[in-house]
Amino acid sequence: MVKIERILCPTDFSDISAKAYDYATSLARHYSAKLFLEHVVQPVTAAYPYYAFPDAVNEMYWNPSEHPGEQLREMVKTHAWNGTHPEVVVQTGMVADSILSFAAKQTVDLIVMGTHGRRGIDRLTMGSVTERVLRKAQCPVLAVRNPLHDFVTVEKGKDPVELRKIIFCTDFSEHSTRALTYAFSLAMEYNADLTLLHVLEDIPGGAELRDATVKAVHELEKPIPAEARNWCSIKTSVRVGKPYQEIVQLALESQADLVVMGVRGRSPLDLALFGSTTQRVIQLGSCPVLVVHT
């Protein structure tokens, strides 16, 4: 059973962080969860000399906001919906480490964060931060990037997020099992259509491909609870090709609102392989990605 009682949403006050906050508030409402909105002030001297960045970057870090707490409260006010009252948190230190430390101390069940930084320097700020949090977090992480189609509503009184179509990706390994429980839970909470996807790779055509497809469909159907179809629409899909390409393509074709993926543990080999499929789907995909660790 999925437990989401405490949600952390780090923000750098960028537009994509605001979009991530919309997701966090919606999820907090659906799961009746406590929400933390966090900003970390990281002086550039914590990691780099002043001459390491161009002037625009130096200006942002050498002159951080004097009142980040006020910015957080203003963000809450301008994005208020249905009486959501998050706890605002301001910390000083290395951004990723501060996020991970706070999440561990507060036993957070889900981290929701944007994948792009401010002023076009996401590789130096939020991009690298998000990657580190994805690798190290002890809880699932929802990575929100700027979507090709926008399903965050701004209509007054409406839920800021509408998850209508969810894709769950599986390679039938153990690390996919836990992620599937999140996919089912979210589909039920949002009354969304759920597609279970498996990608066949390096399979020749003909009878071998047909046999592999039939077997894959059977494996996809096996974990579906008998009652699940009473509260959401579920279908299976088997595609052939590179996993990340097929996942990205299906999400684009179906205008999916969310992709759910399981990743392996944290051994050195697992961490080295993390970026292959999962990171590419996050970087190239058309919608947010929920990453669930075993």
For the chain, the average pLDDT equals 82
H, E, C per residue of 49-62: CHHHCCHHHHHHHH
Amino acid identity, residue 205? G
Angle at 92 between CA 118 and CA 54, to 5 degrees: 40
Closest by CA position to 165, among listed 294, 248, 231, 254: 254
- The residue extents of the domains of the chain are 6-144, 165-293
pLDDT in tens, 125-181: 445 788 889 889 999 999 998 755 554 555 555 677 889 999 999 999 877 888 999
Superfamily of domain 165-293: HUPs (3.40.50.620)
The answer, yes or no, to whether residue 63 has pLDDT greater than 90, is no
Q: Which residue has the higher pLDDT, 205 or 290?
A: 290
Confidence check: pLDDT of 62 > 50:
no
Query: What CATH number does the domain located at 6-144 have?
Result: 3.40.50.620
CA gap 205, 159 in Å, rounded: 46
| pLDDT score, position 45 | 54
∠265-266-271 over CA atoms, to 5°?
110
- Torsion angle, CA of 172/276/15/87, rounded to 10 degrees? 60
1 SS3 class: coil
* Distance (Å, whole) CA 104 – CA 102: 5
Helices 95-105 and 126-136 meet at what angle, rounded to 10? 40
Tell me the percentage of the chain whose pLDDT exceeds 90. Answer: 49
More confident residue, 42 or 103: 103
Tell me if domain 6-144 and domain 165-293 are identical in fold: yes
Question: Does the structure show a pLDDT above 60 at 119?
Answer: no
* pLDDT given for residue 15 in this prediction: 86
Q: How far apart, in whole angstroms, are the C-alpha atoms of residue 268 and residue 272?
A: 6
Structure-model confidence comparison of residues 292 and 119, the more confident one: 292
SS (H, E, C) 225-239: CCCHHHCCCEEEEEE
Asked if pLDDT for residue 234 goes beyond 90, the answer is yes
- Residue with more model confidence, 75 or 187: 187
pLDDT digits (tens, 9 = 90+) for 168-209: 999 998 778 889 999 999 999 999 999 999 999 988 878 899
Tokens 């066949």 found at:
200
Segment 272-278 mean pLDDT: 63
Higher pLDDT, 37 or 81: 37
Mean pLDDT of 105-131: 71
Average pLDDT over residues 4-25: 92
**Residues above pLDDT 70, as percent of the chain:** 78
